[in-house]
Amino acid sequence: MLKAWSSALFTCLMMFLSLTVCATGLPLLAKLEYVDNHGVPVNMDFSRQDNQYRIEVRLNLILYHLKFVSSGSVANNTLTPLSYTDSRQGKPYAYATFANQTVQFGKTGSEPKQVTVNGPVYDLFALGWQLGINDGHLAKNTYLTNGKKIYSLNNISFVGNEQLSVNSEMISISHYRLNRGDDVVEYAFAPSLRGIPVRISYMDNGKIYTLQLKSGLIDGKAIKTL
């Protein structure tokens, strides 16, 4: 009997530690401010409650508005997206939904597409967080979607470590590059800041966008880069 109770206690302890690792690996709330290579401000909010996460990215110009929303579950430092939406000018533009190994996606108003995959599928922003909390490692057969297409990510390379001034202190950031079809996507994240993305570079409709972190709040702690 004592042995059975000890075994049960050990199992519960392992489950608790697993949840603790997840909790320490990701912030509960991060409100981050970026600026792109055209000087346009971009806001990213990451929130986590229980085993659910949500990422919302907003780009607001006078005549042009973009919003990207990713949501799903999180366990053991692994994000599992359930939905992704791309809205432009306040109207749905593209989307993707994930169920088991099936992905339905497409541009709004077009015939939905559906494919079966043999690995996790991330949107551009969820992938940045996934890389950050796993030190640049991705699961085998990982895919990337923008709602319009799905890309197999076969090649991811470590570019190197860089230095970034945060709150007047130099910290190390890790820079990675991967291929998305014929395009290149690059991420840099800060391991000492809960793995948050500090730079994201990608191509959309033939244009290159680079988002660079400028400031933010991570679980209430203010950060500012130089």
Residue 53 one-letter amino acid: Y
Using 50, 70 and 90 to split pLDDT, how confident is the model at 19? very low
**CB of 14 closer than 8 Å to CB of 21:** no
Q: What is the pTM of this model?
A: 0.86
pLDDT at 104 over 90: yes
> Could you say which DSSP state residue 89 is in?
T
pLDDT at 9 over 80: no
Evaluate whether the domain defined by 2-224 bears CATH number 2.50.20.
yes
pLDDT at 87 over 80: yes
Tokens 């050990």 found at: 10
pLDDT at 54 over 50: yes
User: Cα(123)–Cα(144) distance, rounded to whole angstroms?
Assistant: 6
Average pLDDT over residues 138-146: 92
64 phi/psi in degrees, rounded to 5: -145, 130
Q: Would you list the domain boundaries of the chain?
A: 2-224
Give the residue from 174, 129, 138, 183 showing the smallest Cα distance to 156.
138
12 phi/psi in degrees, rounded to 5: -65, -40
Reported as a single tens digit per residue, the pLDDT across 180-214 is 877 889 999 999 998 999 999 988 777 888 999 99
pLDDT at 213: 96
Average pLDDT over residues 167-190: 91
pLDDT at 38: 87
User: Cα(154)–Cα(95) distance, rounded to whole angstroms?
Assistant: 23
User: Cα(19)–Cα(16) distance, rounded to whole angstroms?
Assistant: 5
Using 50, 70 and 90 to split pLDDT, how confident is the model at 223? very high
Whole-Å CA distances, 160 to 13, 119, 127, 135: 37, 27, 19, 12
Tell me the helix, strand and coil percentages in the chain, rounded to 5: 15, 60, 25
pLDDT at 156: 87
Mean pLDDT of the chain: 87
